[in-house]
Structure 1
Amino acid sequence: MEILDKKSNRMSRANSGVSECNEFPDLQRILDFLSLRNLLSNELFFTFL
């Protein structure tokens, strides 16, 4: 029984960590997308020069 308690405790701790990370997922995704798009357009621009 103690093993199950430890496991569920670990799971809840992991879940709380995940929820903390997911506070600004959309903003992070948008920033990542914009920076990636910038990188890609720069690469394309320089290859066509």
Structure 2
Amino acid sequence: MAPARSKPASHVPGKNASSLKGTLVGVLFVGGVIAATWLSVFFLFLSRMQ
């Protein structure tokens, strides 16, 4: 006889939303740091060309 299957866990709507908000903030922060670094090096490059 086949083993009985258990029901999958029900989805809790509020639990994952806060986790995704934290992920979004982290990604935006890292992206901002990368963009700021790139722009500072680019303007340094432009200032040394003259």
- If the length of structure 2 is used for normalisation, what is the TM-score? 0.61
When you count helix as a share of all residues, which structure comes out higher? 1
Report sequence identity in percent.
0
Runs of 4+ with >3 A deviation: none
Instruction: Could you tell me which runs of 5 or more consecutive residues in structure 1 were left unpaired when the two chains were aligned.
Output: none
Tell me the TM-score normalised to structure 1 length. 0.62
Q: How many residues align?
A: 40
Structure 2: state its 5+ residue gaps.
41-50
Q: Point out the structure with max Rg over C-alpha.
A: 2
